[in-house]
Amino acid sequence: MELLNLAGIAGVYTLMLVILIAAVAMVTLRSLFHSALALAAVLIGIAGIYLTLQADFLAMIQILIYVGAVMTLIIFAVMLTEHLSHQTVRQNNRQSPLAIAGICAFLFCLTGVIVRTPWPLQPQNQTATITAMELGKAFMGQYVFAFELISVFLIAALIGAIVIARKDK
C-alpha cells in the first residue's frame, strides 16, 4: 500500500509541475491561440488539484464552467481578432530588467511568508463536508443574500450585453 501512496504523491507533484509548465507556456508562447490552449490546460490542472483536496463537486464545476464555457468564450474572442497567419510577437521589451527586479522582490517577500507558516495547516472545522447537498443548503441558508445579489448581478450583465450588441433601430 505504501507503494500506491507513494505513486499517488508522485502523481500530485507531477500534476503541479504540469500546471506550472503550462502557466509558463501561457505567458511566453508567441501565438495567442497557443496561449489560450495553455490556459485551458492550467484550468484542467487546477480541477485536478481540487480533486486531491476532496472537493469533487467543485472540480467538476470548474471543468464545466471554466474549461467548457469561459475558455470557449476566450477562444472565440481570440479567433475573431487574430489574423490568420503566423504572429510572432516579442514577449519581452526593453523594460525586462526592471520587471525582473520587481518580481524578485515579490518572490522574496512571498518566500518569507511561506517559510514562516507552520506547515501542515489544520483547517478550522474538520467536520465541514463539501458535498453538493451541503453547498446547496449553505447557498439557500447562510449565504442566501449573497446568492441573490450575484444572480441580480448576472442578469444585469446579460441585459447589458444584449443592449450593447443590439443593432440600433
Partner 1 sequence: MEILDSIFLNTKKIFLDLLGCWLPDWMILLVNIGIIIGVIAVLGPVIMMYLTLLERKIIGRMQNRIGPNRVGIFGILQPIADGIKMFTKEDIIPQNADKIVHFLAPVLMVIPALLAFAVLPFGRGMIPVNLNVGLLFFIAVSSTSTICVFMASWASRNKFSILGGMRSAAQMISYEIPMVLSVVPVILSAESLSTYAIVEAQARWSGLHWFVFTPWGLLAFIIFFLCGVAECNRSPFDLPEAESEIVAGFHTEYSGMKFALFYMAEYMNTFTVSALAATLFLGGWEGPVLPSWLWFFIKTHALIFVMFWFRGTLPRFRVDQLMGLAWKLFLPLTLINIFVAGGYHLISDRNFRVAGASAVLLVSFLLFTVFLNRKYMPEKRRYDLVD
List residues near partner 1 by CB under 8 A: 1, 3-4, 31, 33-34, 37, 40, 44, 56-57, 60-61, 63-64, 67-69, 71-72, 75-76, 79, 84-85, 131-132
CB 54 within 8 A of CB 12: no
State the minimum distance, in angstroms, from the CB of residue 60 to partner 1: 4
Q: Give the separation between CA 76 and CA 60, rounded to whole angstroms.
A: 23
Nearer to partner 1, 23 or 63 (CB): 63
Residue entry with cell 472565440: 76
- Spatial separation of the C-alpha atoms in residues 73 and 88, rounded to whole Å: 23
Q: Residue for cell digits 492550467?
A: 42
State the minimum distance, in angstroms, from the CB of residue 120 to partner 1.
Answer: 25
Between 17 and 69, name the residue whose CB sits nearer to partner 1. Answer: 69
Nearer Cβ to partner 1 (33/106): 33
- In the complex, least distance from residue 36 CB atom to partner 1, rounded to whole angstroms: 9
Nearer to partner 1, 89 or 114 (CB): 89
* 48 neighbors 59 (Cβ within 8 angstroms): yes
In the complex, least distance from residue 125 CB atom to partner 1, rounded to whole angstroms: 21
Rounded to whole angstroms, the Cα distance separating 149 from 27 reads 34
Query: CB neighbours of 34 closer than 8 A, spacing ≥ 6?
Result: 25
Cell of 153: 448581478
Tell the smallest beta-carbon distance from residue 62 to partner 1 (Å): 8
Closer by beta carbon to partner 1, 56 or else 148: 56
